A = this chain, B = another copy of it.
Amino acid sequence: MNHDMFESSPAAYAYPLLIKHLLHTPLAHAVDQEIVYRGETRLTYRAMRERLARLANGLSRHGASMGTTVAVIDWDSHRYLECYFAIPMMGAVLQTVNVRLSPAEIAYTINHAGAQILLLHTDFLPVIESIRDQLETVRTFIWIDDAGSEASAHTIPFADEYERMLAASEPAYDFPDFDENTRATTFYTTGTTGLPKGVYFSHRQLVLHTITGMAALASPVSGQRFHRGDVYMPITPMFHVHAWGMPYIATVLGVKQVYPGRYLPERLLALVRDEGVTFSHCVGTIMHMLLGCGDAKSIDLSRWKVVIGGGALPHGLARAALERGIDIFAGYGMSETCPLLTLAQLKPGSETLDLDEQVELRCKTGLPLPLVDLHIVDEEGIDAVHDGRASGEVVVRTPWLTQGYLKDAEASAQLWDGGYLHTQDVANIDPNGYLQITDRIKDVIKSGGEWVSSLEIESLISLHPAVSEVAVIGIKDEKWGERPVALVVLKPQAAAPASADDIRNHVLAFSETGRISKYAVPQIVKIVDQLDKTSVGKLNKKRLREQFAVTPEGKATS
């Protein structure tokens, strides 16, 4: 506190919800706690405080001030964490650039956001070099020279280098108070069609997301928790929806944080082992890959808790992870929602359920976080009953949803309708309150007058031991309207090979027990080599439907 704290101000009691206030707890409780980068660089929260001030002073020197957009391209690192705090704390806007977009799309998002400063890791020099002429707003490039990365030949006129900039800057900075509705972050969503769309979040929204997410993640009786004794490592990129907001939560908890750099399976597993990582989050595909990695067999994963998001958690994957001792469970959210909306935590008393029952609950979409006002509604906005069968579109209201899409009034108006954000996800809610997403609205299959959940059928097929990946899509059918078709990638190393008929019989068995309706059994199961994905690794069902469109005889063409 500095000397002039006793000067009076007009509203002495005012306390705007600013990101800087998330630092009070770690700086009071946990200044000596570690922040680790790739097992090589080790800092403390005390050091981070000083580095935030140096970063702010350095960026100020390069022209950043209130409202400046500063774009960052880096692997997951302590530097990125510093940008999560220092850039918004200055009143500037952090743009987390999605490096999985095409170079042209990356240029589009940087221009569209109007970023003036770009922090750039060595590994992405070729990409930026290739689009440099297209960048209309960036006037300052700052190099992130990461030990071990080799710079390719380039012509980018770097004004500074990250560590040199920090070393040359003062270790104190008076982060100001300002309106809590000030924009803090922006990034771009990707769809299967059209240009990327920008979403954005304010300080107030991020603070509320952090504290509420922390409350929800901490409060179960035992498992599926994120608590002060954990060691945190993200495996969802930090450019993607604030790495689900978890780095902010980890910081308030004051836990040891481990940033893995680029996601190499062997390195991730080694960090889990060597740094004692106990809490992570990733998409199902990554967990699938990690469990299949040779190194995984020799590492004790029984203290590891992992939230799976970015798509449904398949039953087969949940079972495989649980059998390895991993406390796996689903979470749900999207770029537009900051992202956390629900977590598939077990309720008190459910800890004693057997494995099958646990798999069921952990693969549910989950229970809403506090302050999340969530409904499943029909087209007139009428709530569906919560019987685990009736479904409707998920619409939601929380204090941390994007206000709209950046400079896109039309898309914003479609997103927000009647005070609720429309997710375009179709779901049911069971009598215990668990949400279960069954489809995207545009992927819904209607067969024989009944809605078929492609996600449920995919999850059931994933339980077959020979199946590696699966997509279920609807194809037109004269008699039934639509029929489900399953596209299956088999495991190359499966113990026993499987035929399309084997897979179909596997699903048929669930129909015979009444678990699913007979309309839900895929008419056609097709073994394929690979499935088309979007830039963020999700199934591109639009493309798949085009590829596997049916002939008039009802046979898939591809």
Give chain A's interface residues, CB within 8 Å of chain B.
1-9, 12-13, 15, 17, 21-22, 24-25, 28-31, 207-208, 211-212, 214-215, 218-221, 227-229, 252-253, 347-349, 367-375, 377, 380-383, 395, 397-399, 401-404, 416-421, 432-433
B211 touching A219, Cβ below 8 Å: no
Q: List 26 A-B contacts (CB under 8 A).
A: A1-B377, A1-B383, A1-B420, A3-B380, A4-B418, A6-B417, A7-B418, A12-B418, A13-B401, A13-B421, A15-B371, A25-B368, A25-B370, A25-B372, A28-B368, A28-B433, A29-B367, A29-B368, A207-B371, A211-B370, A212-B215, A214-B215, A215-B215, A215-B218, A218-B227, A221-B229
Across-interface contacts of A373 in B (CB, < 8 A): 21, 24
List B contacts of A349 (CB < 8 A): 229
Give Cα A219–Cα B215 distance, bound, in whole angstroms: 8
Compute how far the CA of A22 lies from the CA of B370 in the bound complex, rounded to whole angstroms.
7
Chain B residues contacting A372 (CB-CB under 8 Å) are 24-25
Q: Are A13 and B403 in contact (CB under 8 A)?
A: yes
Total identical chains: 2
Give bound CA distance, A417 to B221, whole Å: 42
Contact between A21 and B371, CB atoms less than 8 A apart: yes
Instruction: Name the one of B2, B15, B398, B417 contacting A12, with C-beta atoms under 8 angstroms.
Output: B417
Most buried by B among A4, A228, A347, A416: A228
Q: A25-B372, A29-B347, A215-B215 are in contact. List 6 more A-B contacts (CB 8 A).
A: A15-B371, A24-B372, A207-B371, A214-B370, A218-B218, A221-B227
| B12 and A416 within 8 A (CB) | yes
CB neighbours (8 Å) of A397 from chain B are: 15
A24 touches B370 (CB 8 A): yes
CA distance A374 to B24 in the complex (A): 8
- Report, nearest first, the 6 A-B pairs whose CB atoms are least far apart: A6-B418, A229-B348, A218-B218, A221-B229, A12-B416, A215-B215
Residues of B within 8 A of A3 (CB): 380-382
In whole angstroms, how far apart are the Cα atoms of A228 and B381 in the complex?
Answer: 32
* Chain B residues near A404 (CB-CB < 8 A): 13
**A29 CA to B220 CA, complexed, in Å:** 12
> A367 contacts which chain B residues (CB < 8 A)?
28-29
Contacts of A15 in B (CB 8 A): 371, 397-399, 401
For A395, what are the chain B residues with a Cβ–Cβ distance below 8 Å? Answer: 5
Cβ–Cβ contact B381 & A5, under 8 A = yes
B368, A24: Cβ atoms under 8 Å?
yes
CB distance from A344 to the nearest CB of B (A): 12
Which residues of B lie under 8 Å from residue A221 when comparing CB positions?
A: 227-229
Q: Give complex CA distance A373, B218 in Å.
A: 22
Query: Chain B residues with Cβ under 8 A from A220's Cβ?
Result: 227-229
Q: How far is the CB of A548 from chain B (nearest CB, A)?
A: 35
The complex places the Cα of A17 from the Cα of B395 at a distance, in Å, of: 19
Q: In the complex, what distance in Å separates the CA atom of A7 from the CA atom of B419?
A: 8
Whether A370 and B417, one on each chain, are in contact in the complex, defined by CB atoms closer than 8 angstroms, is no
Q: Determine whether the beta carbon of A252 is less than 8 Å from that of B370.
A: yes
Instruction: Collect the chain B residues with CB atoms within 8 Å of residue A17's CB.
Output: 208, 371, 399
Q: Smallest Cβ distance from A330 to chain B, in angstroms?
A: 16
CA distance A402 to B12 in the complex (A): 11
Contact (Cβ within 8 A) A9 B419: yes
Docked Cα-Cα span, A21 to B399, in Å, equals 10
Interfacial chain B residues near A13, Cβ < 8 Å: 401-404, 416, 421
A395 to B24 CA separation, bound complex (whole angstroms): 14
Shortest CB-to-CB span from A414 to chain B, Å, is 11
Q: Which residues of B contact A417 (CB under 8 A)?
A: 6, 8, 12
Contacts of A419 in B (CB 8 A): 5, 9, 12
Write out the residue numbers on chain B whose beta carbons fall within 8 Å of the beta carbon of A218.
215, 218-219, 227
Docked Cα-Cα span, A377 to B6, in Å, equals 11
Contacts of A421 in B (CB 8 A): 13
Centre residue among A7, A219, A416, A419 by max chain B CB count within 10 A: A219
Q: How far apart are the CA atoms of A21 and B398 in the complex, in Å?
A: 9
Q: Contact at B29–A433, with CB atoms within 8 Å?
A: yes
* A265 shortest CB reach to chain B, Å: 29
How far, in whole Å, are A371 and B203 apart by their CA atoms in the complex?
A: 13
Nearest B residue to A256 by beta-carbon distance?
B348
Chain B min CB distance to A163 (Å): 29
